[in-house]
Amino acid sequence: MKFIRYSRFKGFDVSSLDLGGLMEALSNQMLDSGYNEDYWWTRERNEPDDSLDALRNAILQSLLDQEIISEQDVAEMLAENDGKFKGSLLEDLINQLIERLVEEGYLTLKELPPERITQQGGDGQGEIGEAQQRNIKFQVTEKGLDFLGYKTLQKLLGSMGKSSIGRHETNEQETGVEASLSSKPYEFGDVMNLDVTSTIVSALAREGTLDVPMNLEYSDLWVYQQDYRSSCATVVMLDCSHSMILYGEDRFTPAKKVALALAHLIRTQYPGDTLKVVLFHDSAEEVPISRLGSIQVGPYHTNTAEGLKLARRLLTAQRKDMKQIVMVTDGKPTAAFIDRNADDGVRGPRALYKNSMGNDPFVMDATFREVQACRKSGVMINTFMLADDPSLIEFVKKMTAITRGKAYFANPNNLTEFVLMDFLKRRVQRVK
């Protein structure tokens, strides 16, 4: 006779675990900006830890935070393996989770080649030791970054209740019917989306009788109107100077989440729009969305002029009805390039002029020249400030007045809300 022994289930069900919730809980680990509490004193940022052990630790912490497992469950699973994590049931379950994340396309794993051991001549003594550990790194895929942007967007829009934006799920209910816009008399060049009822009524009013076939003239034709929708080219300028992680809080990770959320919003809701990301520091560079998760701030100054110049060039190449810059910064300009030419008697690459105190006449003049160039090119600058320094306020006010943009005070907690709601509001205003 066969007996079946039942025992208490330990651990958690890997196959039924929501990977979306796990990725959302891991977002800070995936978008590490180099922030640490000692940066103010050491000026040394955290180097990104993309090892497999770091990923296991982050997953374990997120499981505990979501109360999927408890501290007691962890202690019991480790106790069965003499208190060791390696080879325990807990390690096996976390490894299965990592396999699911890889299979679903959220993460990729890459094994780096082992370090070569230099061979030395002569007769050496052999030794017994442990095998060299495999060096496996993880990386967030484009699908993973897009999902993080989607979760940021969903969290924001789902918490706002009723809105005039449309197409966003809320907890509110209402009654109503779908309505279309009114029709108008046909004009040369209009799309022939014919309003049959209005056309027949117009012909009857003119003819006085209903004859078959009906005699129609151009003046009888009526066509439906629809909303005019314009396209927009957007460049998100992210300040990655060292001050973004300097004053006791991480300001760069929320800025990266803004860019990811905007990318997802534009890709899914406004396919005619374009979005590019520019980092500005000592210089400026365009970065693809796929690299945004691994970018960290550094010991840089704030070269706003160079960032505006690059953003303007990218927007000028786009044939869109509207061009705008969304700049996220926490400090006033502190650096600008000096162009060397024959008149200076010095030849060579551009030199970087820096003044960490800010309000330097040369730096401010170079910055406002680029602001004026943006205005001439029809580029609007919307600035989101992560600081309330009086001199920064005056600088931003002047810059936004020149380009007829807007300026907002924000902090890392509400930055996403400010940027996305401003973007959506402008989309509604551009519907004519």
Rounded to the nearest angstrom, the gap between the alpha carbon of residue 411 and the centroid of all alpha carbons in its chain is 16
| pTM for this model (two decimals) | 0.64
Other Cβ atoms within 10 Å of 159 Cβ, number: 10
223-236 core/surface letters (b: 16 or more CB in 10 A; e: else) = beeeeeeeebbbbb
Question: Is pLDDT larger for residue 48 or for residue 352?
Answer: 352
Instruction: Specify the 3-state DSSP secondary structure of 304.
Output: helix
Distance (Å, whole) CA 228 – CA 272: 13
Give me the DSSP letters along 59-78: HHHHHHHTTSS-HHHHHHHH
127: tokens are: 């030794």
Tell which residue, 246, 238, 270, 279, has the closest CA to residue 419: 238
pLDDT tens for each residue of 161-209: 443 334 433 444 343 333 355 788 888 777 778 888 888 888 888 888 7
Interval 248-256 mean pLDDT: 80
Give me the domains of the chain, ranges plus CATH numbers.
19-112+134-140 (no CATH), 183-224 (no CATH), 232-429 (3.40.50.410)
Average pLDDT, whole number, for the chain? 77
Cα angle value 172/178/181 (rounded, 5°)? 125
Rounded to the nearest angstrom, the gap between the alpha carbon of residue 76 and the centroid of all alpha carbons in its chain is 40
Distance (Å, whole) CA 304 – CA 199: 57
Rounded to the nearest angstrom, the gap between the alpha carbon of residue 1 and the centroid of all alpha carbons in its chain is 62
- Is there a contact between 138 and 13 (Cβ–Cβ < 8 Å)? no
What is the pLDDT at residue 395? 84
Side chain identity, residue 382? N
pLDDT tens for each residue of 114-136: 655 555 555 556 566 555 566 78
270: tokens are: 């406004």
What is the pLDDT at residue 121? 54
Residue 65 neighbours by CB under 8 Å, 6+ apart:
25
Distance (Å, whole) CA 174 – CA 157: 18
